[in-house]
Structure 1
Amino acid sequence: MLNSTLKQWTSRLALPLVSASLLAGCSSGPAATDGDAESAASTGETCAPELAEIDFGIISTESQDNLRPKWEPFLDAMEAELGRPVNAFYATDYAGVIEAMGAGKIQLAWYGGKSYIEAAERSQAEAFAQTVNSDGTKGYYSHLITNVDNPIVQEIDLEAGNGDQYVLDNASELTFAFNDPNSTSGFLVPSYYVFAKNGVDPNQAFNELIFAGSHEATAQAVANNQVDVATNNSESLVNVETSDPTAREQIQVIWTSPEIPSDPLAYRSDLPDCFKAEVQDFFYSYDDEAVLGPLEWQGFDPAGDEDWNTIRELEIGKSILEVQNNADLSATEKEQQIEALNQKLEALE
């Protein structure tokens, strides 16, 4: 999880020296609900009868064909517990889930850290739970990957995992793929640690740069030698090993990030408190291994919006570095923009 290293910078205008400990953090519980849930239960009334059915958003980490068999049993269990239909909403990109919640087309969603903070800012998303991995941890890792037969592999110390430096030194000769611009591990984390901290603009650095979409897409692009290097993450590679072991054998990890907090579950903040309480009860107590196993989870812990403040800090830190490294800005312009960004950091304290 992430901590508050960015808030501890001793020089606001000097190039920040942000350590790998940026990605370590804490967890706190969600905001307490009022007495609506207890009142509804005590009188025997149905909570939020206007919510005849629930639409649940699922970010596009994989194709819908791969996501559906993993998610449908879980949504069926939620439907049985909540006593009303729960429909899956599979978007073609992360933005689709963000926009759908903002438009009121979905009431709950599974997000990544970056997509959640976007949804919290403009789509009334409110985090209430955090996924717990099958091994009991609450974190995962961003990776840079290449094909095992790519000559890059021979130029990298795989044990040291210094593929990021090779990518920086040889970017002009390489093709590179991010997955989605709203992805934490597929865009934000490598953008900060690999590029922004080193003063490199990936839009200008590579022979070719693309956004492939899902983690599954970047894995397949590398496995099929369609790009030299791509972003991915530790959870996705486990999924690839299960769904397409031949492709996984063709993938070599060349860089690993510090730990990233595991994913938030969120509902719209304007939902009735009694319904929020029912949703929380379901998630906090659900532990069916047969259903959660394919999702690589063992359960869910209580969490709140502030548990992803450190993702916000990472986003701001990336922006500060980009301003500092922007040769088109004057010293005065840099100072003004960095001050505004530092005010955002301070507001998170």
Structure 2
Amino acid sequence: MITRRLILGAAAALALTGAAQAQDWKAKYPEIVYAIIPSENASGVTDRWTPFVSYLSKELGTKVTLRIANDYAAVIEGQRSGNIHIAQYGPASYARAYVTGVKTEPFAIETNLDGTKGYYSVLWVKANSPYQKIEDLKGKNLCLVDPNSTSGNNVPRFAMNKLGITPEQFFGKVVYAGSHENAVLGVQQGTCDAAFNWWNDEKESNLLRMASKSMVKAEDFRMIFKSDQIVNSPFAYLSDLPADLKAKIKQAVLDMPKKDPEAFKKIYDGKQGVWEPIDHKAYEPVVELIGFVDSLRKKS
């Protein structure tokens, strides 16, 4: 016979089990490390993401530390070694982690204000330069971002292959700038004649973020190429984290835009939509893309 006492006892037992599980993972993970790829200078990343880390610490009830990686590969290797528990990747760097055996899984994706979940790779040149298309840059210097950057390397190489262009043969020099900001600065300073970068729309791009910080003037640059849409960047946690910890991280991240709207607004200057759930399937086309780009490198 089921009594109220039995029901209350079972509920109490479940609560104790949940509390015990939480204590188990807190004992094993007294500190959670969140890492992000270097899309801009370190101070800019710190300003944007410190409120997020503080929010996550409060929601998880444990210390969360922000780590700003030196390059994309550092995030991949940090998750491979288990030293980075949560990472925000670019699509191609996540795909690179996946194909090289890193046990990581995406759980949330950035969205745009209009609800779409994609962005573009664009090519900037100086506004007063004569270049109108990629083919006009033969023998000139090109700034890419990082070998594992989606919009700053992999998509550009795929697009140039369609045009019959092998970058290392076509351009006078190909430079990996290290970050999206550095690539744009390369054009501004004359190190490069053109630079690939990320671009959401007319209101949100790396160039506009730099202009808002008075690093460059947006009107000094002109776009001569825009790719097909690329799926937005994922948050990914280690696959072997405890299930209850993963569930708590995912819920906290997805809830942040409504629980701490000011901190969320600071991350994207109010120019990005809420985070939504995602899984690996969304990134399978990017996995195929980096496989194709790798095959191009082997041929060149």
Cα offsets for 1:99-126 (capped at 9, x unmatched): 1111111100000000001122332111
Check whether the contact 1:111–1:264 (CA below 8 A) recurs between aligned residues. yes
Residue in 2 aligned with 1:176?
A: 142
Residue in 2 aligned with 1:299?
A: 274
CA distance in structure 2 between the aligned counterparts of 1:111 and 1:256, rounded to whole angstroms = 21
Check whether the contact 2:114–2:273 (CA below 8 A) recurs between aligned residues. yes
Alignment of structure 1 residues 12-161 onto 2, 5 Å: 43-47=18-22, 48-49=25-26, 50-121=28-99, 122-152=101-131, 156=132
Residue in 1 aligned with 2:189?
A: 224
Check whether the contact 2:96–2:290 (CA below 8 A) recurs between aligned residues. no
* Structure with a larger share of its residues in strand: 2
CA distance in structure 2 between the aligned counterparts of 1:224 and 1:134, rounded to whole angstroms = 33
TM-score under structure 1 length normalisation = 0.73
Check whether the contact 2:96–2:287 (CA below 8 A) recurs between aligned residues. no
- 3-state DSSP class of the match of 1:291? helix
TM-score under structure 2 length normalisation = 0.85
- 3-state DSSP class of the match of 2:35? strand
Residue in 2 aligned with 1:208?
A: 173
Residue in 2 aligned with 1:272?
A: 242
Change in Cα spacing, 1:231 to 1:46, as seen in structure 2 (3 Å) is: same
Residue in 1 aligned with 2:9?
A: none
CA distance in structure 2 between the aligned counterparts of 1:39 and 1:203, rounded to whole angstroms = 61
| Bigger mean CA offset, 85-94 vs 238-247 | 238-247
- 3-state DSSP class of the match of 1:286? helix
- 3-state DSSP class of the match of 2:217? helix
Residue in 2 aligned with 1:24?
A: none
CA distance in structure 2 between the aligned counterparts of 1:75 and 1:247, rounded to whole angstroms = 31
Shift of 1:238: 3.0
| Bigger mean CA offset, 279-288 vs 50-59 | 279-288
Shift of 1:308: 0.2
- 3-state DSSP class of the match of 1:136? coil
1:239 has 2:209 as partner: yes
Gaps of 5+ in 2: 1-12, 200-204
Shift of 1:43: 4.0
Residue in 2 aligned with 1:285?
A: 255
Q: Which amino acid aligns with 1:190?
A: P
Cα offsets for 1:30-73 (capped at 9, x unmatched): xxxxxxxx967764335212111100111011111111100001
- 3-state DSSP class of the match of 1:254? strand
Change in Cα spacing, 1:176 to 1:279, as seen in structure 2 (3 Å) is: same
- 3-state DSSP class of the match of 2:87? strand
Shift of 1:318: 3.8
Residue in 1 aligned with 2:6?
A: none
Shift of 1:84: 0.6
| Bigger mean CA offset, 272-281 vs 282-291 | 282-291
Gaps of 5+ in 1: 1-37, 157-162, 329-349
Check whether the contact 1:101–1:125 (CA below 8 A) recurs between aligned residues. yes
Residue in 2 aligned with 1:196?
A: 161
User: Identity of counterpart residues, as a percentage?
Assistant: 31
Check whether the contact 1:139–1:259 (CA below 8 A) recurs between aligned residues. yes
Change in Cα spacing, 1:39 to 1:104, as seen in structure 2 (3 Å) is: farther
Aligned structure 1 segments of 4 or more residues deviating by more than 6 angstroms: none
1:312 has 2:277 as partner: no
CA distance in structure 1 between the aligned counterparts of 2:267 and 2:219, rounded to whole angstroms = 21
Check whether the contact 1:283–1:299 (CA below 8 A) recurs between aligned residues. no
Q: Which amino acid aligns with 1:184?
A: T
CA distance in structure 2 between the aligned counterparts of 1:83 and 1:41, rounded to whole angstroms = 17
